């Protein structure tokens, strides 16, 4: 199996399986949060949705699931892990990525097409994008206000770990272009090892023109190409 | 608890909302005096909210049959065949009274309830919509209600992963004390999985599944059937709180259970919880049910039989599986972390018999509780006098706008509460979950694709309460017509409706007259447009201190697209496209938003309605979209032609240059709300084909102008009367609602 | 049995959008002297053990492992014996 989508109670796995299997013709299956094996997955996706109803803190209860021990090991060995929306929140709660999420600065849920800038096109998930490319993808979250203390933020910036920023159409990371108050307009980050990506925008909702945007297609294609290269090597 | 004798002596039924003759009726049914629990059960099930006692005799006027109707009114929701072995299940439900008390939980549990009505039918909920009415958005209390209701709808829908794809909101003073929160849900199901709410098969087990039972919401249904007064604020029942996470699990568990094939019947525990679900299921099957309340999972200690039977705790279902399948049911629910407990069994004696701590707590004929046994009243009807005053208004006394006043009037209208963009609201809703949304909020109808078939559906909710106030019958028909216009303009063929009737106290002759007229109007329009009524909801007693709301019959309509890709949106698409008006201006101002915003008036009988014309013009627009002749299509409603053009321009971020000729009145030409009209844009090379079709079908069209880059101008004769830029309109309009609500 | 009364608050320096919103509203209502509004969480749980030390150990661990996110939050609690 190439892609494993982890099904937590309240996750929207079906959307990811549809995109991977029907749109991208990839081998993909869901794995229960109660499972203790990732089988032979080459890329693990922690999907969006509201695992455990976002109770306590979004992602907090999901991060304590049995499967997360395996995801941690998998990530340590260099396996590709992608957390989207609630999946990003789970990665933060698990400690696989630095920082934490606060409620949106507006205190309201926000769902809209959002302009993003690819800040680092040199990751397994962004190889198909051009550095600095401007793309569109929907966002839909109530707690996407990424927080990190200033010292850690500096490190993130220096290590080139910021992968996506919220920007305007000209690519400027302005306050107006920031939908949730995220520090430094951060929309997505990668770990130091370069194999664990977390992002609030929803690439799976952005793979078919009929649904309004195709900015997310490159992300999955990048991962597919990266895995193909890895197999060759 | 009072004894049966004490109940009789103290006339305790009165404080439960039962009339003296209703108490007599109960005694006749039982052949003895009812005990306290039994009296409570009757009081809730015989409330207007559950029994529709003042309205249900009118429903036989509705056309409910059609070749596509698989399940009509009387079940949890209606089901409509859309081909390929698939059906759409849909329903509207109100949660007005709970939302007025606690807007966040009231609206959230409204969404939860309507979702349960959908998935109890075996259908997966694929979309929600909502219809909201509030007082002036500049009023601080109204703002609190709007904020709470919108957040409640959003949080519940978003957390359950069901996208909110459309809706409508409007503001008028009559809703200040009685806001309306109507939620609509739509589900998708294969025909063979459609499931009903029936308790048949003697000996089959009766199971309570889902969440635990607590003291919340007791007597909610009775409460929803009474008027508010200012003093009420102190003594309110405990509001039910929603748990969307449990709902998500309940959706998956119930759908898995239905798919397993062991379900005989299933029913949501909504208003009056265990009482209504058990009585309705038994009554439909002509059977009886015996239950032991002691084993019902409870979250509060020491609950009485009265409390357990009347609790409105959310996220619970009553399931009747085949005998022997109990463990299978338990296993499925356990997998999802939910209770499934056998509380009783189906009997053949027609009685609802309830045990608690080894004693019979209630024993009543199931049918006597349901609409079979509930009283039905035909109240006195009287045409309200206010209509004469409204209708006698002489529009000639109203001075027309001067050329130079038009631009200001346009700005004023564009920034008014009922016209400004609803973006602030719909951005709080997840519109894209489940990957079906081809057209979301902000266009005429939402359009969803249905993977597995080429077909798509269009859905909308509509009602203009002011039209209904001005002429309840025609206004109700207009609500149906407007919904149809939104469906047509999106490329769909209207196939069915569900309705939510919101009115005042039906025991007042004037209000009952409104109700009767409303039902007749809907029936006439549905007959004419070929859209049967598949179910709905009634919310009466929407009054505060004797003042009723406008009659507000919310129409939720389903449209079908043979090819989901062939849909239209309202925004202009290409610079240089021609802009056309389909339909005719009738030089009428009555009922218009303009009249209210500019002159502070509600006057006249409302715009005229011609249902034949509606169908002809609508079908024409739909065929243009299907043939791919037009780039955009938008129906003309609130604000008239000028506002419709501005909306097309803002949605497409492209301007327009429009020339209009020889009006009788400038104001009605630009801002009047004549019905059966659309604005379409199209590439010039398609014009001849379109004109040919229009002639053949007898549809009136007129050329208005062209799509431009950024300039938006409207000329009357030779003079520019509106001249602006799209960006300037967007600045005012797109954040207008948050400005009005003080949310900037 | 020991009842733990746990208070969870945001760490100093972490922005608190809810607190800010409440503070703004209070200002608009005329409570001009109000400042530093902070919104936290309160959790109650009962540990069924007779030993205070054991209850203390478990509650502290639960706080660190489950109830708080150490990036954002800190906690204090007190134990009350319940009979």
Q: What is the pLDDT of residue B225?
A: 59
Domain containing residue A129: 2-232
pLDDT band (50, 70, 90) for residue A101: very high
Please give the average per-residue pLDDT across B277-301, as a whole number: 94
Write out pLDDT tens, residues A179-201.
999 999 999 999 999 999 999 99
Return the minimum-mean-pLDDT range out of A99-113, A135-149, B43-57, B702-716: B43-57
Residue indicated by tokens 């009296």: B39
Please give the average per-residue pLDDT across A202-213, as a whole number: 97
Residue B546 in this model has a pLDDT that exceeds 80: yes
Residue B235 in this model has a pLDDT that exceeds 70: no
Please give the average per-residue pLDDT across B681-692, as a whole number: 97
Residue indicated by tokens 């939860």: B112
CB contact under 8 A, A55 and B245: yes
User: Does the beta carbon of A140 lie under 8 angstroms from any beta carbon of chain B?
Assistant: yes
pLDDT band (50, 70, 90) for residue A2: very high
Contacts 24+ apart (CB under 8 A), B594-602: B594/B409, B594/B413, B594/B639, B594/B640, B594/B667, B594/B671, B594/B672, B594/B673, B596/B466, B597/B412, B597/B413, B597/B416, B598/B409, B598/B412, B598/B413, B598/B667, B598/B671, B599/B398, B601/B393, B601/B398, B602/B390, B602/B466, B602/B469, B602/B470
CA B670 to CA B663: how far, in whole Å? 9
Percent of chain C beyond pLDDT 90?
Answer: 61
Q: C 19-48 residues with CB below 8 A of A?
A: 21
Residue B143 in this model has a pLDDT that exceeds 80: yes
Write out pLDDT tens, residues B330-363.
999 999 989 899 999 999 999 999 999 999 999 9
Residue B662 in this model has a pLDDT that exceeds 80: no
Write out pLDDT tens, residues A44-84.
999 999 999 999 999 999 999 999 999 999 999 999 999 99
Residue B232 in this model has a pLDDT that exceeds 50: no
pLDDT band (50, 70, 90) for residue B714: very high
Contact of B283 with B366, CB cutoff 8 Å = yes
Residue B219 in this model has a pLDDT that exceeds 80: no
Shortest alpha-carbon distance between residue A25 and chain C (Å): 38
Return the minimum-mean-pLDDT range out of A149-158, A201-210, B252-261, C13-22: C13-22
pLDDT band (50, 70, 90) for residue B223: low
Write out pLDDT tens, residues B413-441.
999 999 999 999 999 999 999 999 999 99
Q: What is the pLDDT of residue B227?
A: 63
Write out pLDDT tens, residues B102-134.
899 999 999 999 999 999 999 999 999 999 999
Q: What is the pLDDT of residue B215?
A: 84
Shortest alpha-carbon distance between residue C7 and chain A (Å): 13
CA B652 to CA B681: how far, in whole Å? 11
Q: What is the pLDDT of residue B519?
A: 98
pLDDT band (50, 70, 90) for residue B230: very low
* Separation in Å, CA B259 to CA B120, B197, B450, B643: 12, 16, 20, 49
Active site residues of B: 49, 95
Write out pLDDT tens, residues B163-201.
999 999 999 999 999 999 999 999 999 999 999 999 999
CB contact under 8 A, C18 and A64: no
* Separation in Å, CA C5 to CA B666, C57, C60: 70, 14, 12
Report the CATH number that the domain containing residue A187 is assigned in CATH: 3.40.50.880
Q: What is the pLDDT of residue B525?
A: 98
| Nearest neighbour of B430 by CB, restricted to A9, A52, A111 | A111
Maximum CA extent, chain A: 47
Residue B613 in this model has a pLDDT that exceeds 70: yes
Q: What is the pLDDT of residue B301?
A: 87
Asked if this assembly's ipTM is beyond 0.90, the reply is: yes
List CB contacts (< 8 A) between B246 and chain A.
53
| Chain C adjacent subunits, 3+ CB pairs under 8 A | A
CA B738 to CA B744: how far, in whole Å? 6
Shortest alpha-carbon distance between residue A26 and chain C (Å): 36
pLDDT band (50, 70, 90) for residue B661: confident
Domains and CATH numbers, chain C: 2-81 (3.30.1280.10)
3-state secondary structure B38-86: HHHHHHHHCCHHHHCCCCHHHHHHCCCCCCCEEECECECCEEEEEECCE
Write out pLDDT tens, residues B357-388.
999 999 999 999 998 899 999 999 999 999 99
| H or E stretch covering B188 | strand B180-190
List CB contacts (< 8 A) between A148 and chain C.
71
What rounded mean pLDDT belongs to chain A?
96
| Chain A adjacent subunits, 3+ CB pairs under 8 A | B, C
Closest C-alpha among A207, A202, A213 to residue A85: A202
Across the A:B interface, residue pairs with CB atoms under 8 Å apart total: 82
pLDDT band (50, 70, 90) for residue A157: very high
pLDDT band (50, 70, 90) for residue A105: very high
Give the three-state DSSP class for B650.
helix
What rounded mean pLDDT belongs to chain B?
94
What residues have CB less than 8 Å from B543, skipping those under 6 apart? B177, B178, B227, B228, B504, B505, B549
Please give the average per-residue pLDDT across B5-12, as a whole number: 94
| CA dihedral sign, ordered A9, A12, A16, A21 | positive
List CB contacts (< 8 A) between B430 and chain A.
109, 111, 140
Residue of C22, C37, C69, C75 for testing the chain A interface, max A β-carbons within 10 Å: C69
Q: What is the pLDDT of residue C20?
A: 84
CA B50 to CA B270: how far, in whole Å? 10
Number of domains composing chain A: 1
pLDDT band (50, 70, 90) for residue B216: confident
What residues have CB less than 8 Å from A110, skipping those under 6 apart? A104, A139, A140, A141, A142, A144, A179, A180, B427, B428
User: Does the beta carbon of A52 lie under 8 angstroms from any beta carbon of chain B?
Assistant: yes
| Nearest neighbour of A12 by CB, restricted to B243, B433, B438 | B433
List CB contacts (< 8 A) between B438 and chain A.
210-211
Write out pLDDT tens, residues B448-477.
999 889 999 999 999 999 999 999 999 999
Give the three-state DSSP class for B120.
coil
Q: What is the pLDDT of residue B743?
A: 85
Shortest alpha-carbon distance between residue B171 and chain A (Å): 22
Q: What is the pLDDT of residue B229?
A: 54
Q: What is the pLDDT of residue B300?
A: 85
């Amino acid at each position: 199996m190439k892609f494993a989508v982890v099904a937590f109670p309240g996750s929207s796995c079906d959307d990811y399986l549809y995109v991977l299997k029907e749109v991208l013709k990839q081998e993909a299956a869901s794995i229960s949060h109660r499972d203790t094996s990732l089988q032979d997955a080459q890329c693990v996706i922690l999907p969006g949705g509201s695992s455990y109803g976002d109770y306590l803190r979004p992602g907090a209860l999901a991060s304590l699931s049995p499967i997360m021990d395996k995801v941690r090991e998998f990530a340590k060995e260099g396996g590709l892990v992608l957390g989207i929306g609630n999946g990003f929140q789970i990665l933060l709660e698990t400690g696989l990525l630095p920082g934490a999420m606060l409620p949106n600065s507006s205190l309201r849920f926000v769902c809209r097409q959002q302009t993003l800038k690819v800040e680092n096109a040199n990751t397994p998930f962004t190889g198909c994008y051009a550095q600095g490319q401007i793309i569109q993808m929907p966002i839909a979250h109530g707690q996407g206000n990424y927080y990190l203390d200033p010292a850690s933020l500096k490190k993130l910036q220096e290590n080139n770990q910021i992968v996506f920023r919220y920007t305007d159409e000209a690519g400027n990371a302005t306050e107006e272009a920031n939908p949730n108050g995220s520090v430094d307009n951060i929309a997505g980050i990668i770990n130091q090892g370069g194999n664990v990506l977390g992002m609030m925008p929803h690439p799976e909702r952005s793979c078919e023109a009929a649904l309004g945007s195709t900015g997310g297609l490159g992300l999955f294609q990048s991962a597919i190409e990266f895995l193909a290269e890895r197999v060759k090597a | 608890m009072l004894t049966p004798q004490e109940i009789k002596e103290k006339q305790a039924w009165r404080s439960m909302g039962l009339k003296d003759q209703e108490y007599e009726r109960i005694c006749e049914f039982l052949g003895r005096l009812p005990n306290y629990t039994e009296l409570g059960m009757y009081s809730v099930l015989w409330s207007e909210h559950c029994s529709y006692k003042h309205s249900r005799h009118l429903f036989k006027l509705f056309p409910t049959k059609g070749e596509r109707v698989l399940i009509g009114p009387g079940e949890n929701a209606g089901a409509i065949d859309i081909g390929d072995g698939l059906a759409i299940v849909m329903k509207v439900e109100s949660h007005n009274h709970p939302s007025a008390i606690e807007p966040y939980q009231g609206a959230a549990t409204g969404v939860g309830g309507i979702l349960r009505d959908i998935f109890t039918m075996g259908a997966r909920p694929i979309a929600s919509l909502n219809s909201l009415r509030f007082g002036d958005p500049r009023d601080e209390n109204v703002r609190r209600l709007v904020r709470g209701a919108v957040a409640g709808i959003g949080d519940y829908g978003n957390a359950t992963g069901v996208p909110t794809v459309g809706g409508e909101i409007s503001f008028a003073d009559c809703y200040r004390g009685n806001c309306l929160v109507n939620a609509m849900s739509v589900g998708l199901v294969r025909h063979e999985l459609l499931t009903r709410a029936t308790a048949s098969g003697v000996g089959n087990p009766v199971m309570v599944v889902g969440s635990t039972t607590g003291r919340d919401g007791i007597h909610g249904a009775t409460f929803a059937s009474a008027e508010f007064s200012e003093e009420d604020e102190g003594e309110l029942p405990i509001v039910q709180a929603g748990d969307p996470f449990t709902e998500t699990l309940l959706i998956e568990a119930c759908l898995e259970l239905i798919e397993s094939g062991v379900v005989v019947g299933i029913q949501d525990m909504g208003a009056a919880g265990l009482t209504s679900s058990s009585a309705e299921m038994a009554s439909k099957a002509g059977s009886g049910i015996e239950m032991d309340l002691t084993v019902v999972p409870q979250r509060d200690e020491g609950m009485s039989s009265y409390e357990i039977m009347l609790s409105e705790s959310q996220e619970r279902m009553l399931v009747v599986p085949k005998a022997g399948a109990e463990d299978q049911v338990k296993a499925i629910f356990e997998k999802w972390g939910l209770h499934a407990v056998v509380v009783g069994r189906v009997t053949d004696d027609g009685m609802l018999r309830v045990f608690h701590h080894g004693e019979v707590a209630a024993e009543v004929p199931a049918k006597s509780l349901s609409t079979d046994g509930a009283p039905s009243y035909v109240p006195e009807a009287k045409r309200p006098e206010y209509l004469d005053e409204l209708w006698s208004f002489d529009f000639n006394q109203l001075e027309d706008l001067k050329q130079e006043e038009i631009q200001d009037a346009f700005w004023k209208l564009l920034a008014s509460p009922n016209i400004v963009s609803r973006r602030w609201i719909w951005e709080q809703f997840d519109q894209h979950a489940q990957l079906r949304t081809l057209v979301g909020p902000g266009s005429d109808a939402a359009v969803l694709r249905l993977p597995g078939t080429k077909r798509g559906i269009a859905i909308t909710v509509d009602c203009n309460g002011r039209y209904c106030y001005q002429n309840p019958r025609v206004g109700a028909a207009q609500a149906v017509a407007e919904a149809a216009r939104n469906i047509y303009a999106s490329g769909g063929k209207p196939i069915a409706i569900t309705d939510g009737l919101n009115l005042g106290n039906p025991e007042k002759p004037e209000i009952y007259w409104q109700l009767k007229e409303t039902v007749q109007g809907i029936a006439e329009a549905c007959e004419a447009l070929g859209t049967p009524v598949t179910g709905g909801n009634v919310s009466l007693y929407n009054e505060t201190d004797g003042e009723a709301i406008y009659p507000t019959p919310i129409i939720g309509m389903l449209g079908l697209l043979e090819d989901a890709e062939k849909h239209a949106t309202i925004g202009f698409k290409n610079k240089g496209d021609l802009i056309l008006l389909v339909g005719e201006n009738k030089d009428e101002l009555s009922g218009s938003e303009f009249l209210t915003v500019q002159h502070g008036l509600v006057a006249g009988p409302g715009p005229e309605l011609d249902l034949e014309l509606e169908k002809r013009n609508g079908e024409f627009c739909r065929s243009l979209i299907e043939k791919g002749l037009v780039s955009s299509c938008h129906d003309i409603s609130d604000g008239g032609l000028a506002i419709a053009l501005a909306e097309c321009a803002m949605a497409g971020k492209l301007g327009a240059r429009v020339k209009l000729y020889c009006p009788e009145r400038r104001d009605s030409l630009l801002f009047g709300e004549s019905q059966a009209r659309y604005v379409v844009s199209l590439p010039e090379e398609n014009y001849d084909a379109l004109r040919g079709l229009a002639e053949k079908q007898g549809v009136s069209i007129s050329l208005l102008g062209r799509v431009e880059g950024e300039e938006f101008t409207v000329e009357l004769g030779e003079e520019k009367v509106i001249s602006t830029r799209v960006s300037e309109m967007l600045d005012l309009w797109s954040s207008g609602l948050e400005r009005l609500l003080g949310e900037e | 049995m020991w009842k733990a009364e746990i208070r969870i608050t945001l760490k100093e320096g972490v922005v608190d959008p809810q607190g800010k919103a409440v503070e703004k509203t209070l200002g608009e209502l005329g409570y001009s002297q109000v400042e530093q509004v902070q919104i936290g969480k309160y959790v109650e749980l009962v540990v069924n053990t007779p030993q205070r030390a054991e209850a203390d150990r478990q509650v502290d661990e639960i706080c660190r492992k489950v109830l708080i996110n150490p990036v954002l939050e800190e906690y204090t609690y007190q134990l009350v014996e319940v009979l």
